[in-house]
Amino acid sequence: MRGIWGIDPGWGITIVRVVMAAIFIVHGYDKLAGGIGGVAQFFAKVGLPFPDVSALLIMLLELGGGLLLLVGLFSRWLGLLFVLEFVVATFYVKLPSGGFKGAEFELLLLAGAALLFLAGGGRASVDGMWLERGEAPTMRRAA
| Of 134, 108, 124, nearest in space to 10 by CA | 124
Domain for residue 85, yes or no? yes
Read off the pTM: 0.85
Query: pLDDT in tens for each of the 143 residues of the chain?
Result: 676 788 888 899 999 999 999 999 999 999 999 999 999 999 999 999 999 999 999 999 999 999 999 999 999 999 999 999 999 999 999 999 889 998 999 999 999 999 999 999 998 899 888 765 544 334 344 44
| Burial label, 83 (beta-carbon count in 10 A; 0-12, 13-18, 19+) | buried
Domain for residue 102, yes or no? yes
Domain for residue 1, yes or no? no
Domain for residue 132, yes or no? no
For residue 1, what pLDDT is reported?
65
Distance CA 38, CA 22 (A): 22
Structural domains of the chain, count: 1
The pLDDT tens digits of the residues spanning 95-132 come to 998 899 989 999 999 999 999 999 999 988 998 887 65
Q: Which domain holds residue 80?
A: 8-123
First to last CA, the chain: 26
Domain for residue 139, yes or no? no
Domain for residue 19, yes or no? yes
Domain for residue 128, yes or no? no
CB 54 within 8 A of CB 48: yes
Domain for residue 3, yes or no? no
